Amino acid sequence: MPAEIPLRFVAKDEFATLRSFLEASGYSEAFLLEHFGAVSLHDLLGASGARRQAFDDRYRGEGLPLFLARLFFGGKQATGAELDRYVPAGVQTTLRGTGLLDDAMRCPVLLHPAFGFCIASDRTDYAGADFVMSGAEGLCRQFVRYIGKEPCGRFLDMGTGAGIAALVASSFAREVWAVDIVERAVRYAEWNCGLNLAENIHVRQGDLFEPVRGMRFDRIVCNPPFEPSLTGDVVFSCGGEDGEAILARLIAETPQYLAPAGRLYCQVEGTDREAETLDRRVVRWLGEAGAEHDSALFVRDRYEPMQFAIRQTVLSNHDSAAVEQWAELYGRLGARAVLIGHLIVERHEGTRRSFHLRGQYDPEASIRDLEGCFDRQVAVAGGEFREFRPVLQGGWELHVRHKPVQGDMHPERYTFVTRAPLPEEWDVSPWMARMVTRCDGAITMEQHARWAETNAGVGAEEFAGGMRLLTWAGVLAPSRGEEQW
């Protein structure tokens, strides 16, 4: 049986009173970072050694925000005098009623501000099997920053954990569903919805899509477990033997649950292998549904396998034997690189050809930047492609490499060098380098195609491929009249 969480539900008006008190208290993410001199909540939560001691020293002092930081974030014991000084009697009663203040005058859970909400989760010293992460961790926060936040109808947070992505979505989605296989996570998510007065969120327990079978969603988001278990016997807290077990199932099942033009936003960690790259496996996992879905893998970090193994061993405070386990795993997989990034999959309408792309993105790029790359590809892939009038974008350079031939310098290689959001070098055919100078928004793709055929002998398929590459790289953007991406 899973350990029971100490939190209890109270009446809506009591939650509202507690929430109002917290909002007015000054106990905010900005306060925590400034007061402790931390670069992130993850930094403050996971510090050790001398840095941990330095943070602990700064818990001393007066004032309501610091008292709440001691109680809720630091897990320090409160005194009756402090409670009477800082917390109204009615709020004290609610703290005890919700379980946020136990008989030892401590808060048994971690309660911290994030993205405008207060989130309860397990403390780092919780020793149970079904640990519920806080959302303060670096990868959790990265995931929340990279979910699409345009208004939508029905939204699904798959593997919700403490419910932070569902809470964020409650402000822009009409109807939010949050699912987790772990009962403890479901309980935390339900309680967090109560504290944050989120009434449009439905929390359900079950394996992947089982609790929402038969439903369609405009947006699905997921931060799946993707750490290899090394022994292969842990799936739902890790990602199975190779770290991709849940990811593979998620992508294979998602097409049944996406509404037309619906999207999956998924944080991913996986490997490029000798036999198959990660983006190619995504297409394989989609199966026949890949013909009616587009996908784009945006890679943020790329590590050599042993570099990543050593990094994880150090971060996990394991000994050198763990490095040998990682080495054996990556050797068995034929891993060439470990990738961390974000995947977008969209169900497209009509019978057009799907696209499946990959790019390395600048860590400073926003989700809107990545969506812009994706949206431009959707425009180019659409049936009205030849009506668009491509325009040049800024932030790139064309490098031409020459070689001497019979006393003259002849161009040998044409390379577009792009910066954010996809900083990369793109080798292209000479006709593409010549054609971009004509892209001023006045000439349609149809007219450009005729020019390329007449002047460079370029067929329709090669032309379309070249245009897809230049729009993906951000050199060109399709426009139609006044509409521009």
Q: Report the distance separating Cα 167 and Cα 73, nearest Å.
A: 20
Residue-wise pLDDT tens digits, 352-396: 889 999 999 999 999 999 999 999 999 888 777 888 899 999 889
Q: Report the distance separating Cα 369 and Cα 456, nearest Å.
A: 33
The C-alpha torsion from 191 through 192 and 198 to 203, rounded to 10°, is -60
CATH fold of the domain at 138-381: Rossmann fold (3.40.50)
DSSP 348: P
Closest CA to 162 of 199, 127, 201, 219: 201
The pLDDT value given to residue 482? 44
Beta strands in 199-351 (DSSP E): 201-205, 217-222, 258-273, 293-303, 335-347
pLDDT under 50 in the chain at which residues?
1, 235, 482-485
Beta strands in 56-193 (DSSP E): 110-114, 117-121, 152-158, 173-180
Which pTM does this prediction carry? 0.92
The 10 Å CB-count burial string (b at 16+, else e) for 21-33 is bbeebebbeebbe
The C-alpha torsion from 279 through 285 and 287 to 291, rounded to 10°, is -40
The pLDDT value given to residue 276? 96
Gyration radius of the chain's alpha carbons = 26
Is-contact 477 423, C-beta < 8 A?
A: no
Q: What are the boundaries of each domain within the chain?
A: 12-121, 138-381, 387-484
Which residues is 119 bridged to in the sheet?
Answer: 112
Query: Which residues have CB under 8 Å from 141's CB, separation 6+?
Result: 40, 41, 42, 114, 135
> Which amino acid would we find at residue 359?
G
How many whole angstroms from its chain centre is CA 350?
A: 28
DSSP 70: I
CATH fold of the domain at 387-484: Outer Surface Protein A; domain 3 (3.90.930)
**Helix, coil or strand: residue 443:** coil
Q: Report the distance separating Cα 246 and Cα 267, nearest Å.
A: 12
Residue-wise pLDDT tens digits, 388-444: 899 999 889 999 999 998 888 888 999 999 998 999 999 999 999 999 989 999 999
